[in-house]
Amino acid sequence: MLEIDWKQFKSGTDIRGVATEGVPGQEVNLTGSAVRRMAAGYLLWLSNKTGKPASELTVAVGHDSRISADRIQKAVVDALLSAGVRVLVCGLASTPSMFMITVDWDCDGSIQITASHHPYYRNGLKFFTKEGGLDGSDIDEILAYAAENKAPAYGKGVAEMVDYMSRYSEILRDKIKQGVNAEDYEHPLAGFHIVVDAGNGAGGFYATDVLAPLGADISGSQFLEPDGMFPNHIPNPENAAAMDSVRLATIRAKADLGVIFDTDVDRGGAVDAKGDELNRNRLVAVASAIALEGNEGGTIVTDSITSSGLKEYIEDTLGGHHHRFKRGYRNVINEAIRLNNEGVNCPLAIETSGHAALRENYFLDDGAYLVTKIIIKMAVLRREGKNLETLLEGLREPVEATELRLPITASDFRACGEAVIAGLEQWAEKHGWAIAPDNREGIRVSFGKENGDGWFLLRLSVHDPIMPLNIESDSEGGVRKMVEQLHEYLLTCEGLDISPVAKFLA
């Protein structure tokens, strides 16, 4: 039997792998044996953290709608039971609910079986404690235990089938009731028409169990039924086809709002009544406006690719502070937690991908909670004769924006990417380019009106051998001007495939 490379399963702060047979070029590595060893590794890690033997732990297990979910759930539960754990089997569940169950029902930990927006044939494990999701170093420790085939002492656990999603839906409904504070407390969304696109993931509950009981008209909602093959579109708010799907559905239904979730509902996006996207910078702007209510002068932590116009909006329109940080949802969350611990009032950590974590909600990235806050804001604005569009009147958006993804062909992709960034910094200084002062990831360079009227950011991907290049300009033709100038440097870089740049300029 070939030795397993356990490091291959690490994906930032999650575990991911191939779980479904029969896909050309994709060999299953998330086998039952591998899953059991990783679940046992989590138990050892959790025992160390809590100071409890595995036989005294209570752990919840849930999954999204993927076709491999039942098989992997069985492997996880078997591993937990054989260590004497009390297991709460939640079945189909959102990832955020699997954190909330640790707080609400006093579980020591939980495991969500999901691969987020990845293709149907992939799956993975996401771990929680009452303090939130794990960090990358924790995943390293779990995988080290799995590599050594270490497991807790044998025990005889007990499994209970539970319905936590009903309780989680109740929490969201109560949040809306209190936030809207309408005359009809039980039906505060009466008169609102909201379309939900769940992409056949785990998010269909939001339409049927949260919005409809509160009086909302959910007609026109689509793909609410779980289907792990995702036959209609990728459940991903960053995907253009997915956003176009919910946009058209919202327009067809003449709804007040359309919302969309990724597979496991830790990310969300929205479109307004006109079908305009509340996504990426616009979503960050809306979330920032909501988070800064009652937190005047507070700090918003975002990832590195947010626009210059967003920074102006947060600081000039909202009166807050913008702290641009690294890509990766755990990166922005951990940075927000660090700032709060240092006494900085930081109510929100958010990525342009749709991961949004509010301090009031345990800094949990929860797409359903974010959408809930947006719906509350929409209802309050309507009472004032306004709508969500008026909230964004102060947001200056770029005239042009694009992203090019440059593959790294060198065997040591991280060393190559770091060398490219270091070289670009020297090149920028030599040519008098303006390097951003709040540069915390890769290198961000700004150009004046005559040379592109905007900025680019070149960085190394969090997980993959790719260097994403984001470019925005406030003038027509500005993106091309900046890419042309950068291209001269990229021609000197070894181990980097710059054909996407050449194609853009062709």
State in words which class domain 280-397 has. alpha beta
Q: pLDDT band at residue 2, thresholds of 50, 70 and 90?
A: low
Distance of CA 107 to the CA centre of its chain: 24
Q: Are 347 and 360 in contact (CB under 8 A)?
A: yes
The burial of 1, by beta-carbon neighbours within 10 Å (0-12 exposed, 13-18 middle, 19 or more buried), is given as: exposed
CATH architecture of 165-274: 3-Layer(aba) Sandwich (3.40)
**Distances from the Cα of 354 to the Cα of 112, 159, 239, 326, angstroms:** 19, 34, 11, 15
151: which residues sit within 8 A by CB, 6+ positions away?
A: 37, 40, 41, 43, 44, 79, 82, 83, 145
Say which CATH topology domain 6-162 has.
Answer: Alpha-D-Glucose-1,6-Bisphosphate; Chain A, domain 3 (3.40.120)
Q: pLDDT band at residue 463, thresholds of 50, 70 and 90?
A: confident
Q: Are 365 and 267 in contact (CB under 8 A)?
A: yes
Structure tokens at 87: 């297991």
Tell if the pTM clears 0.85, that is, is over it. Answer: yes
Distance of CA 253 to the CA centre of its chain: 28
Sheet (strand 400-407) strand order: 400-407, 466-473, 454-458, 443-447, 434-435
For domain 400-505, the CATH superfamily is: Alpha-D-phosphohexomutase, C-terminal domain (3.30.310.50)
145: which residues sit within 8 A by CB, 6+ positions away?
A: 37, 40, 41, 44, 45, 151
The residues pairing with 83 across neighbouring beta strands, listed in sequence order, are 155
pLDDT digits (tens, 9 = 90+) for 187-237: 999 999 999 999 999 999 999 999 999 999 999 999 999 999 999 999 999
Domains 6-162 and 165-274 share a fold: yes
pLDDT digits (tens, 9 = 90+) for 246-279: 999 999 999 999 999 999 999 999 999 999 999 8
**Distances from the Cα of 476 to the Cα of 96, 285, 310, 482, angstroms:** 41, 23, 19, 12
Distance (Å, rounded) from C-alpha 132 to C-alpha 365?
10
**Domain segments of the chain: what residues?**
6-162, 165-274, 280-397, 400-505
Distance (Å, rounded) from C-alpha 54 to C-alpha 44?
7
Give percent of the chain with pLDDT exceeding 90: 93
Which pLDDT does position 231 carry in this prediction? 97
Which pLDDT does position 119 carry in this prediction? 94
The average pLDDT across 44-68 equals 98
